[in-house]
């Protein structure tokens, strides 16, 4: 019995949905004809029930129908016709008024009522459509932002891989060739030229190291099996090596973020925070901390620089917005604070549930 009721209910839902789909897909002309038919049916109902029973509210139904399915002109035509048909039914039913002015006033009020109902419903419809398109635009923008981040991530990794597998290998090969040249020159007793070759070899070794550091920054986590802590550790070491700043890294707990896409976002947040600390904060020391518990992973980057501008001076930069956006993508939170003792602390906490 219950099964049969369930089947009937689901069939009724399917039929209703089909009818609604048909209603909303039909042409405005057909919808206008249907609104007219509805209006005539209500006039007939008005005549059938007599003037003792007021059906004036029913006259608003075809107006509302026209609002959702026809254009604005059709709405006002239906509203005007509703006024005419109601007045006609009123006369046919023999409704008596004390004098002609009262009757004219009554008819004018009904006309005004129907037009106001039409206008108010149009305003509501327009507002609803405007908010629907705002939501659609917002969703589209968010989708685009996500794609831009993904594309830039992909491009950074591509350039990093090319740098690592292409330029680094070339430079290393030239370094080896220069080493061989140096030995040859020494064998032939050309000491001065051998020293020059030795200098070139040293410069090439430095270039290889710099290109490797750059490529590791561009392809941080995926190439690194040890995951986020190891990648951040390398980032700290590279920062200390390449920039006039002491950068440290410490981690507590086993970070689960290192095993999925969140690791790349956290790594990029750390990179941007380090970049800002050296570029804007003139920091001499930067501490990266990664801590994890079963429910959340927290990353903080603190520097001993000048701190965030007090007056909140606007810049054209996008670094902080992208950091926030990345935190949102991970359903996490990003905070940027300037403690009283100085410097800046950027912290990002992301939940690990559902990874």
Sites of contact with ligand ATP (CB under 6 A):
276-277, 280-281, 303, 305-309, 315, 317-320, 344
What element of type H or E holds 218?
helix 191-218
Print the binding letters for residues 220-249 with Mg ion: x by CB under 5 A, - otherwise.
Answer: ------------------------------
> Is the Cβ of residue 43 or residue 344 nearer to Mg ion in the bound state?
344
> Is the Cβ of residue 98 or residue 311 nearer to ligand ATP in the bound state?
311
Q: Please state, in angstroms and as integers, the Cα–Cα distance from residue 354 to each residue in 78, 225, 327, 330, following that order.
A: 55, 22, 16, 11
CB of residue 308 to Mg ion, shortest distance in Å: 12
> Is the Cβ of residue 18 or residue 339 nearer to ligand ATP in the bound state?
339
Give 54: exposed, middle or buried? Use CB within 10 Å, 0-12, 13-18, 19+.
exposed
Give 199: exposed, middle or buried? Use CB within 10 Å, 0-12, 13-18, 19+.
exposed
φ, ψ of residue 345 in degrees (nearest 5): -125, 120
Among 43, 215, 233, 276, binds Mg ion (CB under 5 A): 276
Stretch that binds Mg ion, among 63-71, 146-154, 218-226, 269-277 (CB under 5 A): 269-277
CB of residue 303 to ligand ATP, shortest distance in Å: 5
- Beta-strand (E) ranges in the chain? 246-252, 285-292, 296-303, 333-337, 344-351
For CA atoms 241, 244, 246, 247, the dihedral sign is: negative
CB of residue 318 to Mg ion, shortest distance in Å: 8
CB of residue 245 to ligand ATP, shortest distance in Å: 12
**CA 47 to CA 42: how far, in whole Å?**
9
CB of residue 280 to ligand ATP, shortest distance in Å: 4
Which 314-333 positions form the footprint of Mg ion (CB under 5 A)? 317, 319
Q: Which does 303 bind (CB under 5 to 8 A by kind): ligand ATP, Mg ion, none?
A: ligand ATP
């Amino acid at each position: 019995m219950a099964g049969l009721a369930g089947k009937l209910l689901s069939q009724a839902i399917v039929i209703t949905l089909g009818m609604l789909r048909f209603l909303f897909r039909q042409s405005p002309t057909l919808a206008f004809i249907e609104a007219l038919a509805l209006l005539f049916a209500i006039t007939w109902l008005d005549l059938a029930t007599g003037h003792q029973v007021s059906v004036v509210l029913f006259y608003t139904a075809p107006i509302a129908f026209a609002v959702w399915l026809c254009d604005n002109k059709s709405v006002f035509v239906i509203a005007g016709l509703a006024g005419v048909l109601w007045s006609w039914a009123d006369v046919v039913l023999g409704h008596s008024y004390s004098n002609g002015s009262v009757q004219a006033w009554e008819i004018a009020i009904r006309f005004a009522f129907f037009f106001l109902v039409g206008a108010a419903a149009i305003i509501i419809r327009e507002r609803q459509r405007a908010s629907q398109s705002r939501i659609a635009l917002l969703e589209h923008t968010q989708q685009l932002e996500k794609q831009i981040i993904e594309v830039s991530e992909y491009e950074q990794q591509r350039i990093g891989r090319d740098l690592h597998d292409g330029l680094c290998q070339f430079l290393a090969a030239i370094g080896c060739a220069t080493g061989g040249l140096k030995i040859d020159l020494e064998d032939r007793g050309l000491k001065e030229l051998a020293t020059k070759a030795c200098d070139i070899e040293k410069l090439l070794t430095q270039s290889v190291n710099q290109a490797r550091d750059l490529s590791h920054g561009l392809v941080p986590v995926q190439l690194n099996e040890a995951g986020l802590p190891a990648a951040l550790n390398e980032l700290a070491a590279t920062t200390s090596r390449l920039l006039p700043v002491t950068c440290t890294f410490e981690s507590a707990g086993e970070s689960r973020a290192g095993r999925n896409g969140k690791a790349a976002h956290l790594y990029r947040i750390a990179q941007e925070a380090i970049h800002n600390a050296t570029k804007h904060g003139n920091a001499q020391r930067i501490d990266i901390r990664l801590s994890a518990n079963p429910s959340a992973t927290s990353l903080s980057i603190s520097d001993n620089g000048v701190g965030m501008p007090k007056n909140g001076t606007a810049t054209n930069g996008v670094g902080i917005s992208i950091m926030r956006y990345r935190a949102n993508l991970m359903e996490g939170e990003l905070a940027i604070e300037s403690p009283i003792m100085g410097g800046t602390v950027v912290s990002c906490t992301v939940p690990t549930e559902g990874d």
